[in-house]
Amino acid sequence: MSHRQATAKRRSDAPASPPPLFRASRALDAIATTALPRAPLMREIDAAADYLRYIRRELAALGANELAKGQIPAAAQELDYIIEDCAEVSNVIMTAAEQVMAERDMEPEAFRAFVAERMTTVILQCAVQDISAQRARRIQAVLATIERRLARIATFIATRDMPEIVDFEPDSTGSEPYRPMIGPAPRGAGNDQESIDRLLALPHGDD
């Protein structure tokens, strides 16, 4: 059996045994306090070292530095661009509409040309949908990468969530409680206007 096979076998056996670090700690304690044979102790320490190397490799596969310094800030930037683009386009469209609605003195032919020009502006602004969709797809790709890598590490090292040490709070300041009710409902999860009207029309207590 090669060293790699031996290591793999030890890993496959790991769930049935005490955690390697625990065993290593016990082994070091034993070295200090008893005169046990050295070979079994060295095997335990070797296994613990293998396990640490294995975890380290899996953590490296997460690519945390690359995610934190590259992909996640880039995705956040894309979101900022979407928000800015939407605001800018909305204002351009609104301005064009207000200009058309406010115009009262033009001759019909001039007015027709004026409206056509403003409508062209409006139509061009609709390109934001295409651009925003492309930005959103980049964000989706980053999220998919993070999901894939986290799933891999969670599976390989059989981790479990520890709510007492995990920051589930999306607000980095910690000043505001997380409010999952806020914001538009996911598609298909909310009510349309008719459903809302029916809810409002129900007598109190029937809702």
Partner 1 sequence: MQIDSSTPILVVDDYQTMIRIIRNLLKQLGFEDVDDATDGVEAMTKLRQRKYGLIISDWNMEPMTGFELLKTVRSDDALKTTPFIMVTAESKTDNVIAAKKAGVSSYIVKPFNAQTLRAKIESIFGE
Q: Residues interacting with partner 1, by CB under 8 A?
A: 87, 90-91, 94, 97-98, 101, 181-185, 189-193, 195-197, 199-200, 204, 207
Give the nearest distance from C-beta 62 to partner 1 in angstroms. 34
Residue with tokens 């949908």: 129
Give the nearest distance from C-beta 88 to partner 1 in angstroms. 10
Q: Which two tokens stand for residue 104?
A: 């009262």
Give the nearest distance from C-beta 86 to partner 1 in angstroms. 8
Element of type H or E holding 77:
helix 72-102
Q: Which two tokens stand for residue 50?
A: 């293998």
Residue nearer to partner 1 on the CB measure, 103 or 197 = 197
Give the nearest distance from C-beta 139 to partner 1 in angstroms. 20
Is 41:31 a contact under the CB 8 Å cutoff? yes
Question: What is the rounded distance in angstroms from the CA atom of residue 52 to the CA atom of residue 47?
Answer: 9
Residue with tokens 């920051």: 167
Residue nearer to partner 1 on the CB measure, 104 or 204 = 204
Residue nearer to partner 1 on the CB measure, 38 or 179 = 179
